[in-house]
Structure 1
Amino acid sequence: MNFNFHNDSIRGVLRSFGHEDAEVDNIETFVTFARLANGIFREMDTDLTKLGASQGRIIVLSLLHCHAPHRMTPSELAEKADVTRGTMTGLIDGLERDGMIERVAHESDGRMVTVGLKEAGRELLSKIVPYYTKLIRSCMSEFTPQDHKMMKGLLGKMKGGFERSLPKS
């Protein structure tokens, strides 16, 4: 995995269009963060594929595991996973086809279905959790408690700025 964090071309292009150094620093920091996140997720996706999983599938299985023994509706899953209902339908279809989850008619409204975790889904999660734990431990091994606190604060500021940039609905 090659991350070019010292990308002089970004700085050069921005300066050529008259951007101030502070703005260049903002963009360079953001691009560095985005490249790191993309690289991590790309590597994770490669590893998860080898285990027969994906980020989306793991999110669905994790949500169902955390809510067990209660079942969830597809719309509840979509909301909690922050994906569209169409995306969730595709994830549920694949997980059901692979025997990881099951759809059951809703207790009080037969027109609706609920989704529950099957043993195969629990088994997949039990293989994935150690992978995530090892990866995160490795990524964060150099952090002190103060680093964690500072990083959470900085990410909170970044999240707030991002949310303010979104159109008001």
Structure 2
Amino acid sequence: MVTSRRLPNHQALTQLAQEYPELDISSVEACLTFLDTTAEVQQALDAHFARYNLSMGKFTLLIQLFVASDKGLTPSEFAERSGVTRATITGLLDGLEKEDLVKRQPYPQDRRKLTIVLTDKGREFISKMLPDHFCRTTDMMSNLNATEKKTFIELLGKLRNGTSAMRDV
């Protein structure tokens, strides 16, 4: 059994369960293990993106533009796809534009709007980065076989469906 480094271990949870009968030890342990693993994955990704002088946010925008091809995306589309505010997107775009990886241009049907596109430098940068990124992603997931990966995706979907329990009032 994997235990969290920062949060209560099995013995502590067992003691808490004596006082709080609604505490389901296996649910809490699963959640704590998930949180610890998520933190480690996030640290690994931060280190990986730092090699390229990127953050996860900047990478997300670059890959969205790379997939969108030449048509580009509006700041609103980025915000909606990324689940963040337009202000956050503006800050990320400012940094990417300063590095000449993206450029803002007038939206074809409405000059009050902007479209963001990759520059040639940005397209070349992401094209060179992706092979390493995909190899490292494959290596990170290599301890799971194909069936386990499919099950993992299904389990994460179920977990995502339960997140409203933490949000609901």
Shift of 1:22: 7.2
Distance 1:94 1:40 in 2: 24
Q: Could you list the per-position Cα deviations for residues 9-40 of structure 1 after superposition, in whole angstroms to 9, with x for gaps in the alignment?
A: 43333333334597111111111112112111
- Name the CA shift for 1:165/1:145 in 2 (closer, same or farther; >3 Å): same
Q: Which moved more, 1:120-129 or 1:51-60?
A: 120-129
Superposed, 1:122-137 pairs within 5 Å as 122-137=123-138
What secondary structure, in the 3-state scheme, does the structure 2 residue paired with 1:83 have?
A: coil
- TM-score scaled to structure 1, two decimals? 0.86
- 50 and 141 in structure 1: CA distance in 2 versus 1, 3 angstrom threshold: closer
The yes-or-no answer on 1:68 pairing with 2:69 is yes
CA deviation digits over 1:98-151, x for unaligned, max 9? Answer: 100000112222221111111121122123212321222212223222212221
Counterpart Cα distance in 1 of 2:16 and 2:154: 32
CA RMSD between the two structures = 2.3
* One-letter amino acid of the structure 1 residue matched with residue 10 of structure 2: R
Q: Secondary structure at the match of 2:111?
A: coil
Aligned to 2:161: 160
| Unaligned segments of structure 2, at least 5 residues | none
Alignment of 1:1-169 (within 5 A): 5-7=2-4, 9-18=8-17, 19=20, 23-163=24-164, 165-167=166-168
Distance change (3 Å), C-alpha of 1:22 and 1:154: farther
Q: For 1:49 and 1:145, locate their aligned partners in 2 and report how far apart those are by CA, in whole Å.
A: 29
Count of paired positions: 165
CA distance in 1, matches of 2:90, 2:104: 11
Counterparts of 1:119 and 1:59, CA distance in 2: 18
Q: Cα 1:128–1:20, aligned 2, differ >3 Å: closer, same or farther?
A: farther
Q: Return the offset for 1:164.
A: 5.0
1:136 corresponds to which letter in structure 2?
T
For 1:83, give the aligned amino acid. Answer: V
**Whole-Å separation in 2 of the counterparts to 1:89 and 1:132:** 25
Q: Which amino acid aligns with 1:107?
A: P
Unaligned runs of 5+ in 1: none
Identity of matched residues, %? 27
How far 1:47 sits from its partner (Å)?
A: 2.4
Q: Hey, what's the Cα distance between the residues in 2 that align with 1:129 and 1:121?
A: 12
Whole-angstrom distance in 2 between the partners of 1:124 and 1:143: 30
